[in-house]
Amino acid sequence: MFRNVLFLLAAVLLCVSCNRPAEDQSKSLVGSKQLPSEDKLSRETLYVTRNHNSDNLTYELRSNNVLILTHTHFGPPDDTETVEGKATTRVSPEVAKQFRKQIWRMRPEKLEDIDHELSWPVRPLGCKRRGPHDFGEISIVFVDDENRKSNEDFRIGFFDLPTEDSCNTPAAKGARAVILRALRLLPPSTVIERFEQAS
């Protein structure tokens, strides 16, 4: 009798788990209600930068699926920027599409003209800056330069992922997991390896 009750309880729990909706893989983690069409978004340039102490690694994915990796180091004197490594490759359309769809979850709803005073970068839901020195560990820049006529004629949007110590809301945890999962889709490179060794 007791064994039958346990079996029924397990069956009910399994049924509840099966009916629970999966995480919406397209849901915004910054509160954006509506984004442009996927076709338009795919023509934007994406910059994802990992920050660690004095080293940065930037992944630049262009609309033609060209990926540019740049590892920079800031050091004395006067925080001089030195390029430690750079590489250019092309990502397959399938991988580029998967990468973009995950990164779009951090995109602000609207991009701003570069010649206007820009607002602070958006952060995951529930996260606020704690002061001028509350820098994020990963930043993303979305650039719409499709119709630009000069170097200052484009629209831009910023996302900033705070450190776990600064903010660790469910949205922040989700954003961190999504970004790292997206970066793992990209092809390996010695530039990435050297950045991680420096980190």
169: Cα separation from own chain's centroid:
16
Q: What is the spatial distance between Cα 21 and Cα 1, in angstroms, rounded to a whole number?
A: 33
Rounded to an integer, the average pLDDT of 161-182 is 96
pLDDT for residue 169 is more than 60: yes
Q: Is 89 in a helix, a strand, or coil? A: strand
Q: Residue 47 burial (CB < 10 Å; 0-12/13-18/19+)? A: middle
Tell me if 105 sits within 8 A of 175, measured CB to CB: yes
The model's confidence at residue 144, banded by pLDDT at 50, 70 and 90, is very high
* Averaged pLDDT score across all residues of the chain: 85
Tokens representing 94 are 């399938």
**41: Cβ contacts below 8 Å, ≥ 6 apart:** 35, 100, 104, 107
- Structural domains in the chain, CATH included, are 34-198 (3.30.1560)
Reported as a single tens digit per residue, the pLDDT across 14-34 is 444 344 333 455 799 999 999
Q: Specify the pTM.
A: 0.83
Q: What is the DSSP string of 127-177?
A: ----STT---SEEEEEEE-TT-SSTT--EEEEEEE--TTT---HHHHHHHH
Q: What is residue 43's predicted lDDT score, i.e. its pLDDT? A: 94
Place of tokens 């909706």: 21
Percent above pLDDT 70 for the chain: 81
Taking the C-alpha atoms of residue 86 and residue 84, their distance in angstroms, rounded to an integer, is 7
3-state class of 62 per DSSP? coil
Which tops the pLDDT comparison, 112 or 126? 126
Q: pLDDT, tens digit, for every residue of 29-65?
A: 999 999 999 999 999 999 999 999 899 999 999 999 9
Assign residue 17 a region (left: φ > 0; alpha: ψ between -120 and 50; beta: otherwise): alpha
**Cα-based torsion angle of the residue sequence 173, 175, 181, 187 in order, rounded to the nearest 10 degrees:** -140
